[in-house]
Structure 1
Amino acid sequence: MSRTAKLLTAALACAISLQSNMADAQDGPAQTGPAIEGEIIYRGERDLEEGGRFQASRTIVGGETMLSARAGFFAGVSASFGVSHYDFSGGRSPWEDIHEFQLSLPVRQALGETTSLLFVPTLRFAGEDGVSFNDGLTGGALVGLSWQVTDRFSFGPGVGAYTSLGSDQGADLFPIVLIDWQITDRLSVGNGSAFGATRGPGIGVNFDASDQLTLGLTIRREDFKFRLADDDRVGRDELTAVVARAQYDNGAGLTLSGFAGAELDGQIAVEDKHGDNLERQDFDPALILGARLKVAF
């Protein structure tokens, strides 16, 4: 997959998440109460291109709540904390535990009967043990316009801009496309509550098998960058995940989901402050498993 294709895939995934999470905002405060969630992810052992192998696991806890909701306007806040543990063997270990934090303030404002402005400023921290909060901190926002074409389909353009961990790399700027498509009463495209929520869900097709059970297939391009404790270096873990998902919702605020799939087209890298590769290796496809529990009040 080309670098341009990877960027566009990730951007579209973020856009669909933004649209899905705020789709009901213009109708009032429905489903915008506080919620807490936890997630565990296991990434199976995979071989590295230049020898050695690694496996990884990730644990995430978070919460979200409404700040304000009325006709035509919504504002909320979400926060999450996570730890990713990497276990390298048969070679050098470029990093071990990576700590993560994310704070977002999603806002949606109706500009008319069919047009909405979406704005999501975000602060993120990602760093190895020993990295100061300032050194691992990045920030930015997604902003876009969405047009409701029919009662089942809306779309629109947008842009995302985030600062980079590299001290002289400036900001990462990319276009996004906002899409929310309810194809039939049971089939939809979107998936705003897929796995790995703190890094953005993927593009997915969902089928409501019943009022309580949803089945889905999701693809996501992930590019995870984090500050290393060694000088000004930055670690990078890139992959494409394709997973099948099942989600159970008891209708009373409890949601349990699980997924299984594969990580493809993966690479790990260590970069200097200019964004140049000091080392970079491909890794083989590998299994990914996970489970998520969400409780809404």
Structure 2
Amino acid sequence: MDGFVSYQDDSDLDGGGSFTATRSYLRAGGLYRFESGHSAGLFVSAGQLDYDFDIPGARPWSDINDIRVSVPLRFPVGDRVSAFLVPSLRYDYESGVSASDGRTYGAFAGLTWRVSDRLTIGPGVGFFTQIEDDDANVFPALLVDWDITDRWRLSTGTGLGATQGPGISLSYAYSDALRVSFGARYEELRFRLDDTGLAPGGVGQDRSVPVVISVNYDPTPNMSLSAFAGAEFGGELQLESAAGAVVSTQDYDTAPLFGLAFRVTF
């Protein structure tokens, strides 16, 4: 089980006004490893993104729900190569809307090659449908897990609550229990809106590039606690009507971001 809570501080919109956002997320599930080297799992997660707008006129949206179900599968292909497939089902919708109206689905797949005991690398690709968009979101990725030295590590990973493919993280281990990491990723969240706002039954979108520094403490092998701080760069909010027309697009200023996270395994 793992989860986090984060707070995006006040950020000005280029069309006037400002907003803050609080995000909370919780995931539970398990992974079973077979003697053959194959593995299969099931993870279910639920989250909420609470927006607080301070702008003239009506707010574009308020609280957004995020529910996900994923089934990670991994298959060995020879001694050094593994293939993986992670199909997933997602529901992203404003409170007051049927979850099925915000349903999307897709998968992330790829191959990894264990070059040495220190380096694993390989290609990946994501394919996901989008709410009220006939074009699926397809993106390539390079997967890396590289122990540069005994203390420095460069890695990619989907991350808890991530809305897109892998981000990248560079970490330094001060000890077995304490490490510091610097990470960045691209985030894009689309969600179904209710029938009472500026775009009834339409779609909202929030995209940005969060960059954070994290301090991670592992008091036991089965528990990890983290505190992180950074900023959201290149932020943009978009509002679309139920017919797919863009109602408004607003950039927002770089926003401070900080939060806490945990992980517990059994």
Q: Do both proteins adopt the same fold according to a TM-score greater than 0.5, normalized to the shorter chain?
A: yes
Q: How does 1:254-273 map to 2 (within 5 A)?
A: 254-272=223-241
Structure having greater relative contact order (Cα 8 Å, sep ≥ 6): 1
1:68 Cα deviation (Å)? Answer: 4.1
Kept in 2: contact 1:191–1:206 (CA 8 A): no
1:113 is aligned to 79
Question: Which of 79, 85, 93 does residue 127 from structure 1 map onto?
Answer: 93
Find the aligned partners of 2:144 and 2:158 in 1 and give their Cα distance: 15
- How many residues are aligned here? 260
Larger displacement relative to structure 2 (157-166 or 95-104): 157-166
Q: Quick check: which one's strand share is greater?
A: 2
1:50 Cα deviation (Å)? Answer: 0.8
Deviations 1:13-33 (A, max 9, x none): xxxxxxxxxxxxxxxxxxxxx
1:229 is aligned to 194
Kept in 2: contact 1:169–1:274 (CA 8 A): no
Q: Letter of the aligned partner of 1:197 in structure 2?
A: G
1:197 is aligned to 161
Kept in 1: contact 2:115–2:121 (CA 8 A): yes
Find the aligned partners of 1:193 and 1:290 in 2 and give their Cα distance: 18
Kept in 2: contact 1:102–1:198 (CA 8 A): no
3-state SS of paired residue (2:34): strand
1:28 is aligned to none
1:214 Cα deviation (Å)? Answer: 1.1
Deviations 1:223-281 (A, max 9, x none): 11111113441100111111110000012412110100111111101124565422000
1:42 is aligned to 7
2:141 is aligned to 176
Deviations 1:143-172 (A, max 9, x none): 112222222112222321111101x51422
Q: Quick check: which one's helix share is greater?
A: 1
3-state SS of paired residue (2:185): strand
Q: Percent identity?
A: 38
Distance 1:111 1:259, change over 3 A: same
Q: Letter of the aligned partner of 1:237 in structure 2?
A: D
1:14 is aligned to none
Unaligned runs of 5+ in 2: none
3-state SS of paired residue (2:224): strand
Unaligned runs of 5+ in 1: 1-35
- The alignment yields a C-alpha RMSD, in angstroms, of 1.8
